Each structure stands twice: as C-alpha cells, then as structure tokens.
C-alpha cells in the first residue's frame, strides 16, 4: 500500500473521528481509530502508527493527557509523535482551575496541540512536518 503514513485517531466524538478520517484518507494516509484511551492501548499492541492524534477530554477530563504521559514512559512508544486535539483551547484555561492548568506546563509530552474544530490545512501541514522530521532523524 502506498500510504504516506499510518495515523491513529483517538477521540470519543464520532463526528470528529469520521471527518478526520475522511480528510486524512483523502490525503493519502492510512487511518485507524479508537474511541478511548484504553482502546487505543489495545490497538497499539497490534499496529505501529507513525503519528497519534489524541483528544484531551474523553471519559475523564484528562484521559488524553494520561495516555500521552503513559506512552512517553513506555520505551516502545517513547518516540511516537503525538498531536493533541481539544475542543477547548483558550487563554482562559491557562489561569484556571483543575486539569487545564498543567497544559501550560513546560513538560508537554506532545508535539502539538490543536483546537477543534480542526483546520484541515494546518493539521495536514503539521502531520507532514512531523513525519518529515521523523524520517530525517
């Protein structure tokens, strides 16, 4: 298969999953999807994606970040680039309460953070850039 890369999309919003899949597949990527962090972990035993697109708030408010931290601690997935997606990325969150605070911390376990609705052009450009960087590295 002449795919440009294998992408795993993890999000509990079926509309986001469906539209992201359409955009990515039309642009030559192979796409797998998972509706939760646990499902994603199960899937990761069988497939080796080139990039992970990961929603922040799923069943719990920090499920996406929890998974991201877990993967970064696992030697098998340490180098797997992660792009986080969130329905709510605003300046407000940085001063706020709860789990939003740590998003601004220095130690992001992720390559990038996009706000939903996703800008298809920017997302595709970022994915291409990350993959290119990976190949040269």
Partner 1 sequence: MAAGVTDTAPISPLPSLDPYVRWPVSARWAAAGLIAFAALAAWGAGVSFPLFGMLLVAAALLAANAWLRQWSQRLGDRLGTPEGRARFARWQVALDSAALWAAVYLSGGLGSPVLFALLVPACCAALLLPAPQAWGAGTGILAALALTGLAELAGWLPHQPLIFRGEDLAPAPDAWGTAAALARFAAFGLPIALLAGAILRRLQRRLAALEREREAQARFHHQLQTLFSILETIGSTHTLEQVLETATAETARVMHVKGISVKLLSEDGRFLRYAAAFGLPEHVIGENRVEVARSPLNRRIIEGEPFVTGRLAERESFQFGEALSEAQIQSVLFLPLKVDGRVIGILGAYCAKPDRFSADDVAFFRLAAKIVAIALENARAYDAVKTLSNERNWFMMKVAHNLRAPLAGMVSILDVVRGRYLGGLTDDQDEYLRRLDRRARTMLSMINELLTLSRNRDRRQEALGGSTVPADLARRVQRTFQDRAAEKRLAFRVELPAEELPPIRGPLETIEQILENLVSNAVKYTPDEGSVAVRFSKADGTVRIEVGDTGIGIPHQDRPRLFTEFFRAENARAMEVVGTGLGLAIVKENIDKLGGRIVVESEEGAGTLFVVHLPAAAGEEKR
Rounded to a whole number of angstroms, the minimum distance from the CB of residue 128 to partner 1 is 17
Instruction: Cite the beta strand spans of the chain per DSSP E.
Output: 6-10, 30-34, 51-55, 82-86, 112-115
Nearest to 113 by CA among 47, 77, 68, 61: 68
Q: Which is nearer to partner 1, 98 or 105 (CB)?
A: 98
Q: How far is the CB of 10 from partner 1 (least distance, A)?
A: 15
What's the min distance (Å) between Cβ of 87 and partner 1?
4
Binding site residues, partner 1, CB under 8 A: 13, 15-16, 18-20, 22-23, 26, 57, 87-88, 90-98, 100, 116-118, 120
Q: How far is the CB of 11 from partner 1 (least distance, A)?
A: 10
| Sole residue written with tokens 């986080």 | 84
Cβ neighbours of residue 26 under 8 Å, at least 6 residues apart?
Answer: none
CB of 48 or CB of 94, closer to partner 1: 94
Q: Please name which of 45, 54, 66 lies closest in space to residue 9, comparing C-alpha atoms.
A: 54
């Amino acid at each position: 298969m002449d795919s440009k890369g294998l992408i795993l999309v993890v999000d509990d919003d079926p509309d986001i999953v469906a539209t992201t899949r359409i955009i990515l597949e039309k642009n030559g990527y192979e796409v797998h999807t998972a509706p939760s962090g646990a499902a994603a972990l199960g899937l990761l035993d069988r497939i080796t994606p080139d990039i992970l697109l990961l929603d922040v708030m799923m069943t719990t408010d920090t499920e996406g970040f929890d998974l991201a931290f877990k993967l970064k601690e696992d030697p098998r997935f340490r180098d797997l680039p992660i792009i986080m997606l969130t329905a709510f990325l605003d300046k407000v969150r940085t001063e706020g309460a709860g789990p939003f605070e740590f998003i601004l911390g220095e130690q992001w376990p992720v390559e990038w953070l996009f706000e939903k609705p996703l800008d298809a052009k920017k997302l595709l450009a970022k994915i291409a850039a990350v993959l290119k960087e990976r190949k040269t590295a």
